[in-house]
Amino acid sequence: AKYNLARVLLEYDEMDSINRGDIDRALQLLQEASAEGHTHATIVLGVLSISSDQRQKCGVESNQLALDEQRAYSFFEKAYSQLHDRDVPEIPEAALNLGVCVYFGIGTEGNQTRGEQLIRKAADASYPLAQMYMGWKYLSEGDKVASQYWFDLAREGDSDSIFEIEQFTGTECPTLLPLPGDK
């Protein structure tokens, strides 16, 4: 319930004028929910600790929750651990966020092999954003067949993932082969 109320407060502020009291209350609720083992609350705290765009979108200011890569990594690591400490279904966002931090050395020492394993785990769980990461990885290595496979999976799962990757990289997502129905 705390997580859901926090999300409502943050989403309300996206649409309306920013109310600092609502943001403070939302952050407090997210922290309480995270402490109680709510994985999605922990992921949201990690994202808000690292993403300037998401902070601005939700109206979070630095005096409410500092931008801190190590803290973000800690939240993502906690979220991933929470899944393994309990017998709950996998949440691919936890693997993806932790994997990106580990791969790029954000808030932790970089380890591309381990980071790629985590991202691949999220991609194998049909998480479109992770599938897009895999597509870009293979494209950067020159493997057009593998990259196309992952891009197609991502498109099938969520066409918005293409937009998200394009926004993140500043590069248009390539269509190497025509998609079914394309003319």
Contact 116, 103 (CB under 8 A): yes
**Integer Cα distance of 67 and 50 in angstroms:** 5
Mean pLDDT of 155-177: 56
The structure's pTM equals 0.74
**Integer Cα distance of 96 and 53 in angstroms:** 18
Contact 35, 76 (CB under 8 A): no
pLDDT digits (tens, 9 = 90+) for 64-81: 777 889 999 999 999 998
Angle between helices 39-50 and 20-35 in degrees, nearest 10: 130
Grade residue 159 by pLDDT with cuts at 50, 70 and 90. Answer: low
For residue 99, report the phi and psi dihedrals to the nearest 5 degrees: -60, -40
Structure tokens at 38: 């709510």
Say what the pLDDT of residue 161 is: 56
Listed as own residue / partner, the contacts of 36-39 with beta carbons closer than 8 Å and 24 or more positions apart are 36/2, 37/82, 37/86, 38/2, 38/3, 39/79, 39/82, 39/83, 39/88, 39/91, 39/94
Task: Tell which residue, 182, 177, 127, has the closest CA to residue 156.
Answer: 127
Say what the pLDDT of residue 8 is: 59
Task: Tell which residue, 32, 64, 66, has the closest CA to residue 51.
Answer: 66
pLDDT digits (tens, 9 = 90+) for 40-67: 888 888 888 887 777 777 777 777 777 8
- Measured at the alpha carbon of residue 120, what is the angle toward residues 119 and 124, in degrees to the nearest 5? 125
Q: Which of 12-26, 46-60, 168-182 has the lowest mean pLDDT?
A: 168-182
Please report which residue ranges of 36-159 form alpha helices under DSSP H. Answer: 39-50, 52-58, 69-85, 92-104, 112-124, 128-140, 144-157
User: Three-state DSSP class for 88?
Assistant: coil
